[in-house]
Amino acid sequence: MTVSARPTGPTHRPAPATRSGPGPWGVALRTAPALLLVALAVAGPWLAPHAVDAPVTAPYAEPGGDAALGGDQLGRDVLSRLLAGGRQLIGTSLLVALLVTGIAAVLGAVSALRPAVGRFVERAADVLMLLPAVLGILLISLSWPDGDRFAVVTAAVVLGVPYAIRLTAGAAAPIAASGYVEAATAGGEGLWHLVVREVLPNLRATLLALFGLRFVAAVYLVATAGFLQVGPQPPTADWALMIRENSAGILLNPWAVVAPSIAIGLLAMSVNLAAVALVPQAGRKAVTAL
């Protein structure tokens, strides 16, 4: 009854002829761009030719000479800020994806084993569906003014977990009903043992796929929060913040805006490509909690 845009759902359906899942090499090939980009962004600050917070040219200077991509609104080197500006976005997104996947794994297994918890989680997801994630982030960061990026992380986790639990609970349901779990229950094993030793080890593939999808959703949310100036504050080098700060000078030095836009766009696309490759079936909901 619950509206959820998950057309193929957790139950297996015959895969459409167009998309038989990629083989192991296919998966490696499709995850490579994302891994490369993440590695580049993490190493970026060390590769930057200039300091990110000191002017090297005139404001909005055109590319050339010392600054390969020109200057930003304060004359700082766009290339250096571009190289330095992805690490925090990716780090925060990874943290969100890890937390959401971890929490959803445990609570999903619990919901599959204890239907009352499962029903509560369903209702929570139904309620949070009414709150656009962007508004949720504004609300939480407003309630927690000094929270900085942790307010964003909290908001993204709170808003993402209920949807993720739907996925993990759906995948855990057949396992919870299986013979060996029943045997363990009959043997008097506690809930924690059932979750950690019996159910979760069998959810590895689902959890890996879920992690990819949550990372996609987190990149979207963290970047959007950065653009709304919730989270990283000037003079931090941050792709989303660069777009916001330099949009006034888009005609003078388009690269100050275009370069970080391309960076975020490429990151979102490559990560999504990787996440889709990790999902065993086609058409699974990719960006659930947005």
Partner 1 sequence: MAGSLRGAARQPVTPAERPRADRPAPDAGASERGAPGGLARAGSAAARLAGLLARRAVLLAVLLALVFGAVELLPGDAADATAERGESAADIEARRHLLGLDRPVLERFADWMAALPTGDLGTSARGESVAALLSTPFPNTLLLGGLALLVTVAVSLALGCWAALRPGGAVDRAVSGSATAVLAVPEFVVAVALVLVFSQWAGWLPAVTIADAAGTPASWDMLVLPVFALAIPQIGWNTRIVRAALADEATAPHVETAVIDGLPRHRVLSHHLLPGALPAIAAGLATSTGMLLGGAVVVETIFNYPGVGSVLAGAVTDRDGPLIAGVVALTGAVISGVLLLADLVRAKASGGRG
Where on the chain is the footprint of partner 1 (CB under 8 A)?
1, 3-5, 7-8, 13-14, 16-19, 123, 126-135, 138-143, 145, 216, 219-220, 223-224, 227-228, 230, 240, 243, 247, 250-251, 254, 257-258, 261, 264-265, 268-269, 271-273, 276, 282-283, 286-287, 290
User: Phi, psi (5° rounding) for residue 45?
Assistant: -55, -30
Least distance from C-beta 132 to partner 1, angstroms?
3
Least distance from C-beta 138 to partner 1, angstroms?
6
Contacts of 211 (CB under 8 A, 6+ apart): 97, 98, 101, 278
Least distance from C-beta 272 to partner 1, angstroms?
4
Least distance from C-beta 243 to partner 1, angstroms?
6
Least distance from C-beta 252 to partner 1, angstroms?
11
Least distance from C-beta 92 to partner 1, angstroms?
14
Query: Based on CB atoms, which residue is closest to partner 1, 106 or 250?
Result: 250
Tokens of 271: 């990560």
Contact 259, 82 (CB under 8 A): yes
Rounded-to-integer distance, Cα 276 and Cα 30, Å:
9
Tokens of 134: 């962007």
Query: Based on CB atoms, which residue is closest to partner 1, 202 or 261?
Result: 261
DSSP element (H, E) containing 128: helix 115-128
Query: Based on CB atoms, which residue is closest to partner 1, 103 or 268?
Result: 268
Query: Based on CB atoms, which residue is closest to partner 1, 146 or 186?
Result: 146
Query: Based on CB atoms, which residue is closest to partner 1, 194 or 237?
Result: 237
Q: Is 77 helix (H, G, I), strand (E, B) or coil?
A: strand
Query: Based on CB atoms, which residue is closest to partner 1, 101 or 288?
Result: 288
Least distance from C-beta 190 to partner 1, angstroms?
32
Query: Based on CB atoms, which residue is closest to partner 1, 195 or 256?
Result: 256
**Cα 136–124–169 angle (5° rounding)?**
120
CB burial of residue 19 (10 Å; 0-12, 13-18, 19+): exposed
Least distance from C-beta 53 to partner 1, angstroms?
23
Residue 189 is classified by DSSP as -
Query: Based on CB atoms, which residue is closest to partner 1, 68 or 282?
Result: 282
Contacts of 118 (CB under 8 A, 6+ apart): 111, 112, 169
Sign of the CA dihedral 6, 7, 10, 16? negative
- Picking from 123, 135, 103, 138, the residue whose alpha carbon sits closest to that of residue 211 is 103
